[in-house]
Amino acid sequence: MITVTSAAGGVGRLLVRRLATRNVPIRAVVKNESQAATTRRDGATEVVVGDLRSAETLDNALAGTDVIYHAAPTQVIDERPIIEHLIASAPAQGLQHIVFHSVIHPDLHQLTHHHQKDIAEGLLRESGIPTTVFRPSHYMQNYLEVWEFLQAGVMPYPVSPNSVMGVVDLADVAEAAANILIDPSPHTGHTYDLSTVELTRHEMAEIWSRVLGHRVTAVRIPPSSLTNSLNVLPSMASVVGHALQSTKLNSVGHLVRGAQAASNPRDMKNWPADAREAYRTMMAHYDRQGLAAGDLTVLPTLLGHAPTSYEEFARRSCSEFGRSDR
């Protein structure tokens, strides 16, 4: 049995689907019944519904499982209790291997999310439980949060367009994870950077321009707008102006729908206040300093082929989500 936590998340859904094609039993851990229905459609053979911070949920997730892919939701700030319970319960449950979803550069201790991953990695190393650590870069899919804006001709995001970001396709992360979960032993004790390429958002916008067939302009939104929505207002004139120049009146519907989607990105309004502040701090750091990629030679080795380029990701996204000029 392979268990996947946060199975309704970006990596989790793709991982469940990929494992299902390999005909292995999959236990998916999700937070509610709506997500349970989704993960069953994705191919999960068993589902545990609950909060990963609950000992009962973790025990149900671990019972009889051989390997676990553990990824905590972004809004969970303190991962230590989850990892400590996982470590304490693993021997009795017969768990043989943990694949831990960390983050690139966990040594950035000024960022809560990165620091918590570093603490978790340390606990797992000290536990003696066979473990493999994944350190993925910033996801290419994060920019699909502004999909409607992209179709209007703008790419707003709370990071400077000049900041260099290492990025990776979630589909590649899921493929690499599936390969390891099927045969984890050779990967015991290894820590893998998962990075594909470094790009500024100006460079990403140039790629989207080629793919969409109209000019796309990267626009900076203040990171402070993540916790105070009024702070986005000074940026809106630039967003609207670039959209009208690029796609004329066709931009109006996209701008309206984009604004509606941006009013609560990632359901952040329902996150705890400390999680929202930690996310704002993280984006503010990326805004100033970017986020360098890790070792770019690792992912091709894990996949057995070249990882997805940003342009390939953009073209696939257009095929999956379609375009609309309404």
Judge if 2-136 and 137-169+195-293+306-326 fold alike in CATH terms.
Answer: no
Q: How many CB atoms lie within 10 A of CB 207?
A: 18
State the average pLDDT over residues 174-195. Answer: 97
Q: What is the pLDDT of residues 5-31, one digit of tens each?
A: 999 999 999 999 999 999 999 999 999
State the average pLDDT over residues 154-160. Answer: 96
- The conformational region for residue 223 under phi > 0 = left, psi -120 to 50 = alpha, else beta, is alpha
**Overall fold of domain 137-169+195-293+306-326:** UDP-galactose 4-epimerase; domain 1 (3.90.25)
Report in angstroms the alpha-carbon separations of 241 from 160, 247, 248: 18, 10, 10
Alpha-carbon distance 66 to 62, whole Å?
8
CATH class of 2-136: alpha beta
Q: Is the pLDDT reported for residue 324 higher than 80?
A: no
Q: What is the pLDDT of residues 108-143, one digit of tens each?
A: 999 999 999 999 999 999 999 999 999 999 999 999
Alpha-helix runs per DSSP H in the chain:
10-20, 33-42, 55-62, 80-93, 112-127, 147-152, 170-182, 201-212, 233-247, 251-262, 273-289, 298-303, 310-321
> What is the reported pLDDT for 323?
60
Give the start-to-end residue ranges of the domains of the chain.
Answer: 2-136, 137-169+195-293+306-326
The share of the chain scoring above pLDDT 70, in percent, equals 99
Q: What is the pLDDT of residues 205-228, one digit of tens each?
A: 999 999 999 999 999 999 999 888
State the average pLDDT over residues 269-293. Answer: 93
**Of 168, 211, 213, 212, whose CA–CA distance to 193 is shortest?**
168
As a whole number, the mean pLDDT across the chain is: 94
Task: Write down the pTM of the prediction.
Answer: 0.94
pLDDT band at residue 230, thresholds of 50, 70 and 90?
confident
Count of alpha carbons within 13 angstroms of residue 32, beta-carbon side: 1
Tokens of 35: 């997500």
